[in-house]
């Protein structure tokens, strides 16, 4: 008989193994989550399976800003009420969502996404500097807020972007973090983000 790590069925084990790869979930919490899902089959497992299928089929990156979206252009970029003269550049989608949760910013975004760390050298193509430049020009952006992590990598990236984009005429500012170096935006509470936004400093 084949060894069963969790004492469960092969497919259930595969589900647990996948769940355990999620941030914040180790094997133990993945097991508990899966057991709960199965126990609550009608109200958790079945709707979850359905929505996972639907998200997996439709989710993509917004062609404008890089936010996750089930449409080609996300709900922020297609919202006429947003102020396109002010752009916030964030490291990843979690940071964009953190800014949105704080409800302080009404402009547009650009998500940098994955790129090599400064230790292996910044590659302008990976950072999509030309794409940012095109959008700054197209939207007549007047202020760029660099809401990057207070890490060496985040701050070096900020300086690099300013150097490459300062000829666009946009004014650059950064969040006044007020958090320990290494703090990531997504871990800040809404009040801290609002304060950091209001006290943002020109660069
Ligand atoms: Zn977008």
Q: Which H or E run includes 186?
A: none
Q: CATH topology for 81-202?
A: Dna Topoisomerase Vi A Subunit; Chain: A, domain 2 (3.40.1360)
Distance 62 CA to ligand 1 centre (A): 5
Q: What is the pLDDT of residues 94-109, one digit of tens each?
A: 999 999 999 999 999 9
Ligand 1 centre and the CA of 63: distance in Å?
A: 7
- CATH, domain range 10-53: 1.10.8
pLDDT score for 201: 80
Q: How far apart are CA 137 and CA 122, in angstroms?
A: 23
Give the confidence band of 118 by pLDDT, cuts at 50, 70, 90. low
8 A C-beta contact, residue 71 and residue 78: yes
**110: which 2 tokens?**
């650009």
Tell whether ipTM is more than 0.85. yes
Distance from Cα 155 to the centre of ligand 1, integer Å: 24
Cβ neighbours of 61 (radius 10 Å): 15
Q: Could you state, in order of their start, the residue ranges of all structural domains in the chain? A: 10-53, 81-202
The rounded Å distance from CA 110 to ligand 1 centre is: 8
pLDDT at 1 over 50: no
124-167 pLDDT per residue, tens: 667 788 899 999 999 999 999 999 887 778 888 888 899 999 99
Distance 191 CA to ligand 1 centre (A): 24
| Cα distances (angstroms) measured from residue 48 to each of 37, 38, 58, 138, 178 | 9, 11, 15, 40, 38
The Å distance, Cα 67 to ligand 1 centre, comes to: 5
In this structure, are residues 177 and 149 in contact, taking their beta carbons and an 8 Å threshold? no
CA–CA dist 138, 191 (Å, integer): 32
Distance 111 CA to ligand 1 centre (A): 9
Q: What pLDDT digit, counting tens, does each position of 61-94 carry?
A: 999 999 999 999 999 999 999 999 999 999 889 9
């Amino acid at each position: 008989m084949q060894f069963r790590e969790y004492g469960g069925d092969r497919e259930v084990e595969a589900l647990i193994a996948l769940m355990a790869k999620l941030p914040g979930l180790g094997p133990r919490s993945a097991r508990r989550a899966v057991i709960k899902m199965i126990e609550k089959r009608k109200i958790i497992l079945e709707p979850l399976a359905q929505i996972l299928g639907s998200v997996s089929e439709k989710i993509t990156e917004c062609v404008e800003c890089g936010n996750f979206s089930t449409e080609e252009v996300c709900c922020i970029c297609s919202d006429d009420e947003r102020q396109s003269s002010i752009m916030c550049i964030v490291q990843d989608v979690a940071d964009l969502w953190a800014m949105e949760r704080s409800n302080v910013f009404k402009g547009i975004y650009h998500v940098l996404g994955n790129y090599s760390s400064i230790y292996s050298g910044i590659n302008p193509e990976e950072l999509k500097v030309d794409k940012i430049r095109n959008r700054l020009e197209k939207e007549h952006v007047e202020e760029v807020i660099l809401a990057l992590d207070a890490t060496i990598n985040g701050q070096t990236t900020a300086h690099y972007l300013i150097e490459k984009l300062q000829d666009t005429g946009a004014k650059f500012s950064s969040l006044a973090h007020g958090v320990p170096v290494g703090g990531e935006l997504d871990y800040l509470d809404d009040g801290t983000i609002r304060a950091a936004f209001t006290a943002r400093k020109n660069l």
